[in-house]
Amino acid sequence: MKTMPINERNQLNFSGGPGVLPESVLHQVQESIHAVPEVGLSILGISHRSDWFASVVAELRSNIRHLLGLPENYHVLFLQGGATQQFSMVPMSLMAGSARPAEYVHTGYWSGKALPEARLEGPVRVVWSGESSGFSRLPRDEELSLSPDAPYLHYVSNETVEGLQFRRVLGRDDVPRVCDMSSDFLSAPGEFDRFSVIYAHAQKNIGPSGVTVVVLKDEILKDAPTTMPGFLDYRKQIEADSIFNTPPVFAIYVVLLVTRWLRDEIGGLAAMDRINTRKADALYQALDSSDGFYRARVAREDRSKMNVAFTLPSKDLERSFLASAGEAGFSGLGGHRSVGGIRASLYNGLQLSAVERLAGFMEDFRARNRSLRAA
């Protein structure tokens, strides 16, 4: 199939989500919408009960195990409902009937969203909150007073809205760790076998919206209640091989293509991290060398490689920046509605050249508007 280069006809996608997909994957998706080569049918019309789709699920599970370096005592599920559904499924499975509070770290918008859902299922203790500081930093280990008796510890590895990212694993090894990795999943290597539950919706680094990857350690479900609805029961989903109901075949197939790209074209998560580090360094350098014209909103040591959030000297300049950026071909730079400002998301599929173009635009915009800088 003859196609134009993607970036010659589309704006560059810096959105917080859905994020940009690798160009080679997009070309494969274009072809598969017409017909998946080995099947001869459109991906939009292939049965979820087909042998071909069973092989897609099996390969995708294997690819994720390989990329994360997981041992065999982990299940990998492909569910629906996004991270939002996991805010409920986790406490329903791990906290039901417990008199001991589950522990949550409140570092921003999305970790805050998980709290009210957990409180519907049982007691919750917020072990640290960054709300008083405007979620401008992450906790140090000495600020976390953690109980050895908690059912689990929950935190978000990368706060998409505020632009905060943990560089370490939190918690005690004798308490199950649950981590929402939605916005930095498969972006870098890590100690993934230290977690009991990892979940990540796809529409940041690994695919389109519609599928959520859930990684579960076997032992974490041994005391889960048996009275949950089947769709919300991890064990039923495991028994059904992620096909408890009609799954999002298209979205799961695209995630498979992304894992192949990570494995075969990029060379694994360490190589992906090196690319992501170069992208983040290029953009933070543009902020740090701007003499205060661009201001990162979080502490330097806690800056995210995935989401670079910053402000300009005035709201008028921010509006002008966004308008000019849109005209120049940069899409999705507006900050989240809860914090405003500017946010550039640098997910896996975004090329370094796109970030370098944005950094150049930022320097040009600063030069044109330096005299308007507020005191």
Domains held by the chain: number: 2
Q: Let me know: does 94 contact 146? Beta carbons within 8 Å.
A: no
Let me know if 52 is a catalytic residue.
Answer: no
Let me know if 273 is a catalytic residue.
Answer: no
Residues 204 and 259 in one domain: yes
Considering the entire predicted model, what is its pTM? 0.93
> Percent of the chain at pLDDT above 70?
96
> Two tokens at 341?
């400002």
Q: Residue 8: pLDDT band by 50, 70, 90 thresholds?
A: very low
Tell whether the model's pLDDT for residue 97 goes beyond 90: no
In 3D space, the residue among 343, 345, 342, 289 whose CA is nearest the CA of residue 313 turns out to be 342
Span 215-219, mean pLDDT?
94
> Two tokens at 18?
């859905």
pLDDT of residue 2: 42
Express each pLDDT in 148-204 by its tens digit.
999 999 999 999 999 999 999 999 999 999 999 999 999 999 999 999 999 999 899
**Separation CA 71–CA 98 (nearest Å):** 29
**Separation CA 319–CA 166 (nearest Å):** 30
What's the chain's average pLDDT? 93
Catalytic residue among 128, 204, 233, 279: 204
Residue 354 lies in a domain: yes
- 282: CB partners within 8 A, 6+ apart: 352, 355, 356, 359
Beta bridge partners of 75: 216
Domain boundary among 229, 264, 299: 264
Residues 143 and 62 in one domain: yes
Q: Let me know: does 275 contact 352? Beta carbons within 8 Å.
A: yes
Domain boundary among 203, 232, 264: 264
Residue 63 lies in a domain: yes
Q: Which domain, by its residues, includes 308?
A: 268-367
Span 244-256, mean pLDDT?
93
pLDDT of residue 1: 37
pLDDT of residue 242: 87
Span 24-49, mean pLDDT?
92
pLDDT of residue 375: 42
Span 8-37, mean pLDDT?
89
Tell whether the model's pLDDT for residue 316 goes beyond 50: yes
Most confident of 98-102, 119-123, 369-373: 119-123
Least confident of 48-52, 171-175, 239-243, 258-262: 239-243
Residue 300 lies in a domain: yes
Let me know if 110 is a catalytic residue.
Answer: yes
Catalytic residue among 52, 149, 173, 180: 180
Count the Cβ atoms, other than its own, within 10 Å of residue 134.
12
Buried/exposed code over 229-251 (b: 16+ C-beta within 10 A; e: otherwise): eeebbbeebbeeebbbeebbbbb
Residue 20 lies in a domain: no
Residue 150 lies in a domain: yes
pLDDT of residue 373: 59
Express each pLDDT in 38-50 by its tens digit.
889 999 998 898 9
In 3D space, the residue among 367, 353, 366, 363 whose CA is nearest the CA of residue 12 turns out to be 353
Residue 5 lies in a domain: no
Residues 70 and 161 in one domain: yes
